[in-house]
C-alpha cells in the first residue's frame, strides 16, 4: 500500500487535499474523521449528521472550530470551494456538493442507500462503513459505480475486508480454502434489545442499538454474509455453525467432519466464539506434500489443515486506507458482484398483525444468515428491507419472516433499489 507519499504527491497535483465527506458522526464516523485528519493529502471537509452537536464535536476534535454549518447548498458549496470545513444536517442535496469521495457511516440501510446511490449517480466515489446496506443491495451499487466510472467500496477495518485479504493471499499461494471467518466479540444473546444492553452500552460509550446488533448476532451474520458475497465462498449453512474455538484450535475445529471438525464441505464462511476475537482467520490445506512439510517446518502446525490468522481489526482507524485505495488506485477493497449469502429477518418476539417492525439492533428482529438461493426459495425477507414494514400475519418468536407475512415500506429507497437489483438479475449468480 504505502499510501502516505502517494497521497501527498496527489495533493500537489490537485493543488489541494482530497476532499472527504462523511455521513454519520457517531462512534464509527467520529473515529474515521479523527483518523482522516492525521493522513496527509486527505482532508475531512464535510460532515453530515442529524445532530449538529456531533458535527461540531468531531471538527473540534481535529482542531477545527470555525466549520460552516448550514442547510443551504450554496453556502456549503462556497465554504468548501474556499477551503473551509462545512457541515449539514440533511442528506437531500449532498451529492451536488464539491467533494471527491463520500464515506457513509450511519449503519442504517435506508440512509446508506440514499446517500450511496445518489452519489454514485453523480459519479462520485463512495466508501461505506455500512455493511448492513451492502449485503442487501451491494451488487446494484457495484454495477452503478462501474457504469459511472466511479468506485464503490466497503471499507477496510471491519472483519469482511480483513478476512478477504487473507483469502486473497491464500488463493494467490494456491492453497485450498477450507473456511474463512471471524471470532465473535460479544456474548451471544439472541433475544437482547436496546433496553437489556443499555447499561453496558453506556459503560462502553456506545449506542445501545449498535451494541444490541452485536449481542443478538445480527452484526456477525451480516459481516460473514459480506465475506461470502465478496469471495464467492458459500455460507456453511443457515445460521452457520459458530463453534467455540481458540487461536490454537482453529485448524482442528474448522476441519471437515471426517477429520474431526464441524464442516460438511470445504470452501465456506463461518464464525467462532472464544479468544479468536477480535481477529479473522482462513483455514487452508494443500495437496502438495513438500509444501505441507514446509508449512509444518515454519511453525504452522502438523497439517493437513493450517490456520492463517490476523489477531485484530482496527475498525474506523484503518478505514481510510480504502479511501486512499479508491482515490489513487481506482480499486475497491470489497464489493459483491452477486449475493452468495442473504441476511434474513428473524423475530425476536411474537409479532401481531398491524405492528410496525423496527430495524437492526432494535426490539423486533435480528439478522440470521442463509445461503442466498435457500433464502430465495423460502421467500425470506432480507433484514435490510424490514425497517418500517407492517406485520400482516402473526409471526412467532424465532421464525424467519417471509414476504407474505409483512407489507414492506414501499417508500423506502432501499426497498425500491432491491427490487431494481432483483429485476436486473444482479442479486443471485
Q: Spell out the per-residue pLDDT of the chain, length 429, in tens.
A: 689 999 999 999 999 999 999 999 999 999 999 999 999 999 999 999 999 999 999 999 999 999 999 999 999 999 999 999 999 999 999 999 999 999 999 989 999 999 999 999 999 999 999 999 999 999 999 999 999 999 999 999 999 999 999 999 999 999 999 999 999 988 899 999 999 999 999 999 889 999 999 999 999 999 999 999 999 999 999 999 999 999 999 999 999 999 999 999 999 999 999 999 999 999 999 999 999 999 999 999 999 999 999 999 999 999 999 999 999 999 999 999 999 999 999 999 999 999 999 999 999 999 999 999 999 999 999 999 999 999 999 999 999 999 999 999 999 999 999 999 999 999 998
pLDDT at position 1 is 66
Asked whether the beta carbons of 267 and 274 are under 8 A apart, the reply is: no
Locus of grid cell 452537536 = 53
Cell readout for 339 is 449475493
CATH topology of domain 3-157+317-329: Rossmann fold (3.40.50)
Edge-to-edge strands, sheet with 306-310? 234-235, 268-272, 176-183, 280-285, 306-310
Question: Is 330 strand, coil or helix?
Answer: coil
CA distance 136 to 269: 18
CA distance 306 to 255: 9
Locus of grid cell 452485536 = 214
CA distance 319 to 27: 13
Q: Any idea what the Cα angle at residue 45 is, between residues 42 and 49, rounded to 5°?
A: 125
Cell readout for 312 is 485484530
Nearest CA-CA partner of 361 in 233, 198, 244: 198
- Taking phi over 0 as left and psi of -120 to 50 as alpha, with beta for the rest, 99 belongs to beta
Please, what's the largest Cα pairwise distance for the chain? 67
Task: Return the domain boundaries, the chain.
Answer: 3-157+317-329, 159-313, 341-423
CA distance 44 to 274: 37
pLDDT tens for 109-144 read 999 999 999 999 999 999 999 999 999 999 999 999
The domain 341-423 having CATH identifier 3.20.20.210: the answer here is no
Amino acid at each position: 500500500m504505502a499510501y502516505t507519499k502517494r497521497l501527498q504527491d496527489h495533493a500537489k497535483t490537485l493543488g489541494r487535499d482530497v476532499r472527504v465527506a462523511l455521513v454519520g458522526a457517531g462512534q464509527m464516523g467520529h473515529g474515521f474523521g479523527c483518523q482522516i485528519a492525521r493522513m496527509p493529502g486527505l482532508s475531512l471537509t464535510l460532515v453530515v449528521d442529524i445532530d449538529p452537536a456531533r458535527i461540531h464535536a468531531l471538527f473540534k476534535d481535529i482542531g477545527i472550530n470555525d466549520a460552516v454549518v448550514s442547510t443551504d447548498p450554496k453556502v456549503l458549496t462556497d465554504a468548501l470551494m474556499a477551503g473551509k470545513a462545512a457541515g449539514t444536517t440533511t442528506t437531500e442535496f449532498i451529492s451536488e456538493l464539491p467533494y471527491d469521495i463520500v464515506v457513509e457511516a450511519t449503519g442504517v440501510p435506508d440512509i446508506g442507500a440514499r446517500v450511496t446511490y445518489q452519489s454514485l449517480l453523480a459519479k462520485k466515489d463512495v466508501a461505506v462503513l455500512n455493511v448492513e446496506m451492502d449485503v442487501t443491495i451491494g451488487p446494484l451499487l457495484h454495477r452503478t459505480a462501474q457504469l459511472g466510472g466511479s468506485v464503490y467500496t466497503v471499507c477496510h477495518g471491519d472483519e469482511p475486508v480483513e478476512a478477504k485479504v487473507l483469502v486473497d493471499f491464500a488463493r494467490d499461494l494456491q492453497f485450498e480454502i477450507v473456511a474463512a471467518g471471524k471470532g465473535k466479540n460479544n456474548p451471544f444473546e439472541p433475544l437482547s434489545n436496546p433496553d437489556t444492553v443499555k447499561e453496558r452500552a453506556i459503560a462502553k460509550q456506545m449506542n445501545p442499538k449498535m451494541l444490541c446488533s452485536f449481542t443478538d448476532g445480527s452484526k456477525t451474520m451480516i459481516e460473514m454474509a459480506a465475506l461470502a458475497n465478496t469471495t464467492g465462498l458459500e455460507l456453511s449453512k443457515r445460521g452457520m455453525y459458530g463453534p467455540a474455538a481458540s487461536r490454537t484450535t482453529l485448524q482442528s475445529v474448522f476441519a471437515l467432519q471426517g477429520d474431526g471438525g464441524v464442516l460438511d464441505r470445504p470452501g465456506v464462511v463461518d464464525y467462532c466464539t472464544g479468544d479468536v476475537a477480535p481477529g479473522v482467520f482462513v483455514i487452508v490445506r494443500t495437496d502438495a506434500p513438500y509444501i505441507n512439510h514446509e508449512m509444518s517446518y515454519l511453525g504452522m502446525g502438523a497439517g493437513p489443515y493450517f490456520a492463517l490468522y490476523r489477531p485484530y481489526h482496527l475498525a474506523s482507524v484503518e478505514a481510510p486506507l480504502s479511501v486512499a485505495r479508491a482515490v489513487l488506485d481506482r480499486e475497491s477493497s470489497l464489493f459483491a458482484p452477486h449475493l452468495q449469502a442473504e441476511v434474513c429477518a428473524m423475530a425476536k418476539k411474537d409479532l401481531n398483525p398491524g405492528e410496525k417492525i423496527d430495524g437492526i439492533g432494535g426490539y423486533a428482529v435480528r439478522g440470521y444468515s442463509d445461503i442466498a438461493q435457500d433464502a430465495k426459495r423460502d421467500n425470506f425477507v432480507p433484514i435490510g428491507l424490514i425497517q418500517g414494514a407492517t406485520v400482516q400475519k402473526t409471526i412467532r418468536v424465532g421464525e424467519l419472516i417471509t414476504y407474505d407475512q409483512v407489507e414492506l415500506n414501499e417508500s423506502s429507497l432501499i426497498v425500491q433499489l432491491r427490487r431494481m437489483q432483483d429485476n436486473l438479475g444482479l442479486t443471485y449468480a
